[in-house]
Amino acid sequence: MKNIYTLSLLTFREALSKKIFLFFFSVSTFVIVVFALLFVFISPESFGNGFISSTPTSFDNSIANGIKIFIVFPLYAGGLFISIFSVSSFIPSLLEKGNIDLILSKPVSRDQVILGKFFGGIAMVFVNIFYAIFFLWLLIGLKFSVWDPYFLLSTFTITLAFTSLYAVIILLGIITRSSMLPMVVSYLTFFIFSPILSSRDTLLTFVNNEFISGIFSILYYLVPQTSDLSTLNTDLAVGNYVSSIIPVFTSLAYIILIISSSIFIFRKKDY
Amino acid sequence: MNAIEVDQLTKIYQGGRSKVEVTALDNFSLSVSKGEIFGLLGPNGAGKTTLIKTLLGIVFPTTGSATILGSDISNYKIKNRIGFLPENHRFPNYLTAEQTLKYFSQLGGNTTKNIDKRIDELLLLVRMSKWKKMKVSKYSKGMMQRLGLAQAMMNNPELIFLDEPTDGVDPIGRKEIRDILIDLKNNGTTIFLNSHLLSEVELISDRVAIMNSGKLLRVGSVEELTTSKEAYIIETTNSIDNDFVNAKYANADTSLENITVNLESSTKLSVNVKDNIELNIVIDSLRKNGINIKSISIQKNSLEELFVSLITDERGGTK
pLDDT at B186: 93
Residues of chain A contacting residue B151, judged by C-beta atoms under 8 Å apart: 102
Residues of chain B contacting residue A103, judged by C-beta atoms under 8 Å apart: 107
pLDDT at A52: 45
- The C-alpha of B77 sits at a distance from chain A's nearest C-alpha, in angstroms, of 5
Q: Which of B48, B107, B136, B144 is the best mutation test for A, with the most CBs of A within 10 A? A: B107
Separation between Cα atoms, residue B193 and residue A238, nearest integer Å: 65
Separation between Cα atoms, residue A65 and residue B96, nearest integer Å: 48
Domains: count for chain A:
1
Residues of chain B contacting residue A3, judged by C-beta atoms under 8 Å apart: 107
Q: Does residue A68 carry a pLDDT above 80? A: no
A163: pLDDT confidence band, cut at 50, 70 and 90?
very high
3-state SS string over B245-279? HHHHHHCCCHHHCCCEEEEEECCEEEEECCCHHHH
- Summarised one tens digit per residue, pLDDT across range A178-205 is 999 999 999 998 888 888 888 887 877 7
pLDDT at B317: 59
- The C-alpha of B55 sits at a distance from chain A's nearest C-alpha, in angstroms, of 9
Q: What predicted TM-score, i.e. pTM, was given to this entire model?
A: 0.81
Contact A107 B77 (CB under 8 A): yes
pLDDT at B229: 67
Consecutive sets of 10 residues in chain B, 319 residues long: mean pLDDT of each? Answer: 93 82 94 95 91 95 95 92 92 91 86 84 92 92 92 93 88 88 93 87 91 92 80 89 76 64 87 84 87 88 83 70
- Residue B94: closest CA among chain A residues belongs to which residue? A17
CB A80 within 8 A of CB A225: no
- Summarised one tens digit per residue, pLDDT across range A88-100 is 989 999 999 889 9
Q: What are phi and psi of B245, to 5 degrees?
A: -60, -45
pLDDT at B101: 94
From the list A3, A99, A104, the residue facing B57 with the nearest CB is A104
DSSP string, A200-227: HHHHHTS---HHHHHHHHHHHHHS--HH
Q: Which of A2, A99, A102, A176 is the best mutation test for B, with the most CBs of B within 10 A? A: A102
The mean pLDDT value for A9-19 works out to 82
pLDDT at A61: 67
- The C-alpha of A155 sits at a distance from chain B's nearest C-alpha, in angstroms, of 29
Contact B95 A271 (CB under 8 A): no
Q: Does residue A50 carry a pLDDT above 60? A: no
Range of the domain at A78: 2-47+55-268
From the list A16, A98, A104, the residue facing B56 with the nearest CB is A104
A51: pLDDT confidence band, cut at 50, 70 and 90?
very low
Contact A102 B53 (CB under 8 A): no
- The C-alpha of B243 sits at a distance from chain A's nearest C-alpha, in angstroms, of 60
CB B83 within 8 A of CB B157: yes
